Amino acid sequence: MDEVIRRKILGLLDQHRIMTVATLRPDGWPQARDNRVSLTIDHDTPQVMEIAGLSMAARAEAVVDAMEGEKAMRMLMEKYPRQNALPLPMPKFADVRIFRLTPTLISVLDYSRGFGHTDLVTC
């Protein structure tokens, strides 16, 4: 992956807060236990030509290492610092299930470069 597209992907990950995840069973019906997932990371925009986001094919694996899970929880708090004011305490790693998503294919959408423009990156 070249450095320009890498920076674009990291920038979109940093700017966008909405992720949608989907997966299927071998027979094609929705399934929660197949580790193949498709996901989008984007935000709503009032103008179609401002669409920019990511679409990925990835593998999901449960994080079982407590140190890695606690690091992920800290990263979540850093991304959303105002959430410290929640009326309930932040859950502990032992109380939640965290998944690591490893992309295999990334589509970088940038409609400012033309309607439907997508750069494909194989990981």
The whole-angstrom separation of Cα 9 and Cα 15 is 10
What's the mean pLDDT when you consider all of the chain?
87
Q: What is residue 16's predicted lDDT score, i.e. its pLDDT?
A: 85
H or E, element range at 63: none
Q: What is the pTM of this model?
A: 0.75
Tokens of 6: 């890498």
Picking from 68, 13, 61, 69, the residue whose alpha carbon sits closest to that of residue 41 is 13
3-state secondary structure of 9: helix
* pLDDT interval class at 32 (50, 70, 90): low
Q: What does the pLDDT average to over 7-26? A: 85
Quote the strand ranges of the chain, DSSP E: 18-22, 36-42, 52-62, 99-110, 118-122
Q: Give residue 33's pLDDT band: very low, low, confident or very high (50, 70, 90).
A: confident
pLDDT (0 to 100) of residue 84? 60
Greater confidence, 33 or 110?
A: 110
φ, ψ (nearest 5 deg) of residue 35: -85, -5
Residue 20 has a pLDDT of 86
Q: In this predicted structure, what is the pLDDT of residue 24? A: 78
Mean pLDDT over residues 6-16, rounded? 90
Q: How many residues belong to the chain?
A: 123
The confidence band for 85, taking pLDDT boundaries of 50, 70 and 90, is low
The model's confidence at residue 67, banded by pLDDT at 50, 70 and 90, is very high
